Structure 1
Amino acid sequence: MTSLAGNVALVTGASSGIGAATAVALAAAGARLVLVARREDRLRDVATAVVAAGGSALVVPADVSDAGQVDAAVRGAAEEFGRLDIVVNNAGLMRMGPALQASLDDWNALLAVNVQGVLNVTHAALPHLVEAAADSPRGVADLVTVSSTAGWVARPGTAVYSLTKFGVNAFSEGIRQEVLGKRVRVGVVGPGTVDTEIGDSLPAEARAALERNTAGMEKLRSEDVADAVVYMVTRPRRVAINHMLVRAAEQTW
């Protein structure tokens, strides 16, 4: 495993779940962390865990759907640490339910976080990644987006959620081809069913449907997805892992 010592990693959606676990895992691999999410109190708890793992952390409260907040967060991180080597687009929102009963506000919220948020972060961070890759001891910088198995398989009740995940997969592939000559690797990790709080905000009916679909399944843990992200960014420069699906062992879709 390539050490991440001296590298700076920015993780969005870092206040809980996959984002928090990824931040701690990157710190354990040697990276300094920039933690981005809306909930500052939760970010400070994660920062404590990062320090316990041997790293250091900068807490930056920001909403990824707001381009101005994202620009300020990325610029502040680069000024604080002098570089930006790894970006993990993890912030995400899940809404489920039949289209005939869906709220247009819910659909727009999915687009704002899952698509516009990824665009905002990538646009702000990409120049810094290119710059860091030019003098990195690893010889490379990394942009990773946490997608979903819903970005490969669409199912009833997840039409717009899948739209957002298929979309960021395609976006990532296009960006990958643009920047590979600049020593920036672009990868997508697609988790299956993970035991996180992302489903807690679902309406009761949708939450019950999700629980029925996953009954008896041993769900992934956030740390399992974090392991995949760390594996991706710690490969030697010659290795680019562009897509990784990580499903719960009993998951069929």
Structure 2
Amino acid sequence: MIKGKVALVTGASSGIGHAVALALSRAGAKVAAGARRTDRLESLNQEIEKSGGEIIVQKLDVTKKAECDSFAEAAVKKWGSADILVNNAGLMPLSFFKNLKVSEWDQMIDVNIKGVLYCTGAVIPHMVAKKSGHIVNMSSIAGRIVFPAGSVYCATKHAVTAFSEGLRQEFSQHSNIRVTCIEPGVVDTEINNTITDASLTKFVESAKHMVALKAEDIANAILFAVESPAHMNVNEILIRPTTQER
């Protein structure tokens, strides 16, 4: 059970992060929600407080280590602990490599990889000191299967999957810190809006017509992992829409 535990969620302003924050709060966790869009965080804050939950919200750009450290410290200062981290913040500006969208490569590396490292680094000393904790990293089906126009994005998600396994080996047995890697297929969120490559217009439109997963489906998968018995470490959850072939 996670009632009373402190959960930190990045990218909590919309989509999966928003749904995860709500699900964890309803399960009794105290939630620290971070994102760049503070106006949306305030809406989340009101929603959780209205239902009787405990929450703090903070502006968070995961590409800035100081902000990641400050985010973790705010939760520890408020509630004395950092029990669960959901590294959800991510970008998916797919593009064909030949189009050389270098700024988008940099963004994905900074958010999808370095952001996960920074936030994990911010909470791990607290978890090690308590010999307890749970880190949930948001990878993707793209962390297993590479596809055209996804070479850089897939590389970042492969990195998250590898990092998750490395964390498990380093911390699970010796520090009682569980690690879960979530690998969603197509989910109906705003992430497709980050695609600027005009040659992918048909791809974006076809995704809209698929019966995609909902953000709440991913939140429920995360809830299953973090509420599992202490002796059980749910290492990976791969979840696709029924109609998704690859």
TM (norm. structure 1) is 0.93
Change (3 A) 1:206 1:41: farther
Q: Which residue number in structure 2 is paired with residue 80 of structure 1?
A: 78
AA in 2 matched with 1:21: A
2:181 equivalent to 1:188: yes
**In the alignment, is the contact (CA less than 8 A) between 1:38 and 1:61 conserved in 2?**
yes
Q: Does 1:158 align with 2:157?
A: no
Amino acid paired to 1:36: G
- The reply on whether 1:249 has 2:234 as its aligned counterpart is no
Q: Do structure 1's residue 170 and structure 2's residue 162 form an aligned pair?
A: yes
Output aligned runs, 1:9-28, within 5 Å: 9-28=7-26
SS of 1:187's equivalent in the other structure is strand
Structure 1 residue 50, shift from structure 2 partner: 2.1
Distance 1:206 1:175 in 2: 37
The answer to whether the 8 Å contact 2:186/2:212 transfers is yes
Percent same amino acid at aligned positions? 38
Cα distance per residue 1:76-132 (max 9 Å; x no partner): 211111101000000001111211013111101100000000010011111112234
RMSD: 1.4
Contact 1:74 1:124 in 2 (8 A): yes
In structure 1, what is the equivalent of residue 6 of structure 2?
Answer: 8
- Answering whether residue 135 of structure 2 is matched by residue 143 of structure 1, we say yes
Matched, 1:230 2:213: no
> Residue 92 of structure 2 contacts residue 191 of structure 2 at CA under 8 Å; is this kept in 1?
yes
Question: Structure 1 residue aligned with 2:203, among 207, 210, 219?
Answer: 210
Please state how far the C-alpha of 1:179 moved relative to its aligned partner.
Answer: 0.5
Query: What SS does the corresponding residue of 1:238 show, helix, strand or coil?
Result: coil
How far the C-alpha of 1:55 sits from its partner, in A, is: 1.6
Shift of 1:169: 0.6
Q: Partners of 1:206 and 1:251 in 2: how far apart? A: 22
For residues 199-251 of structure 1, the C-alpha deviation after alignment (integer angstroms, 9 at most, x for no partner) is: 11322625523334436420000000000111000000011110100101111
Structure 2 SS opposite 1:200: helix
> Pick from 18, 29, 33: which aligns with 1:35?
33
Aligned equivalents of 1:51, 1:183: Cα separation in 2: 31
Q: Which moved more, 1:190-199 or 1:51-60?
A: 51-60
Matched residue count: 245
| Structure 2 residue aligned with 1:126 | 124
1:200, 1:207 within 8 Å by CA — same for their partners in 2? no
Unaligned 5+ runs, structure 2:
none
Q: Which secondary structure state, in structure 1, belongs to the residue aligned with residue 232 of structure 2?
A: coil
CA distance in 2 between partners of 1:123 and 1:95 (Å): 26
Instruction: Find the residue that maps to 1:19 and give its secondary structure.
Output: helix
Change (3 A) 1:209 1:235: same
Question: Residue in 2 aligned with 1:137?
Answer: none
Shift of residue 53, structure 1, vs aligned partner: 4.2
* Structure-2 separation of matches of 1:190 and 1:9: 20
